[in-house]
Amino acid sequence: MTTSPLLIRPSTIADLGAITEIYGWNVTHGTGTFELETPDEAEMGRRRDDVLSKGLPWLVAERGSEVLGYAYANHFRPRRAYRFCLEDSIYLADAARGQGIGRLLLAELVSRCEAAGARQMLAVIGDSANAGSIGVHRALGFEHSGVLRSAGWKFGRWLDVVLMQKALGLGDTAEPVEGT
């Protein structure tokens, strides 16, 4: 059996159906997102456009012609002082879990954000029992920075939020360069 290579690439409009389907599965079955209603494809397109309009990456992992997951970075908060601090988001198709795809997506996302001049990346991980996401972030150098206890209510139970952080490039050891 020949397996097609995995390709990590920038997303396109043509990927929105798969992105919406992957996120929808995570909304209805997972605790990695605290969203309760699955957004439609138009809303996912608006979210993607917002990220791309800021010059930030939205990537997909594809094998053959099948999108298996996606990752993007956005500003942690909208205030200008946060412009060098990004939050990552990674979602995988259920069948793609446990294959190292999340790690590859995150590694490429970190690399692209670092090249764009970002200095900090935060992981705001839904559910303190989300060992897969916590492990992927830890493996790529993110450090635990806190827990927001019982911050969300989903599937009839309280869920924590785990905060992890990674310095990018020079981190906080030097002033950032505007416009990089």
**Strand 6-10 relative to strand 58-63: parallel, antiparallel, unpaired?**
antiparallel
At 179 the pLDDT is 73
For residue range 63-104, list pLDDT tens digits in order.
999 999 999 999 999 999 999 999 999 999 999 999 999 999
Parallel, antiparallel or unpaired: strands 66-75 and 85-92: antiparallel
The whole model's pTM is what?
0.95
What span, in angstroms and rounded, lies between the C-alpha atoms of 4 and 64?
6
What average pLDDT does the structure give for the chain? Answer: 96
The pLDDT of residue 163 is 98
Q: Please give the C-alpha separations between residue 38 and each of 6, 29, 69, 131, in angstroms, as whole numbers.
A: 27, 11, 16, 23
pLDDT at residue 180, as a whole number: 57
Q: Would you place residue 177 in the very low, low, confident or very high pLDDT band (cuts 50, 70, 90)?
A: confident
What digits encode the pLDDT tens for the residues 137-174? 999 999 999 999 999 999 999 999 999 999 999 999 99
Whole-number percent of the chain with pLDDT over 90? 96
Which residues are within 8 A (CB) of 54 and not within 5 positions of it... i.e. 6 or more apart? 74, 75
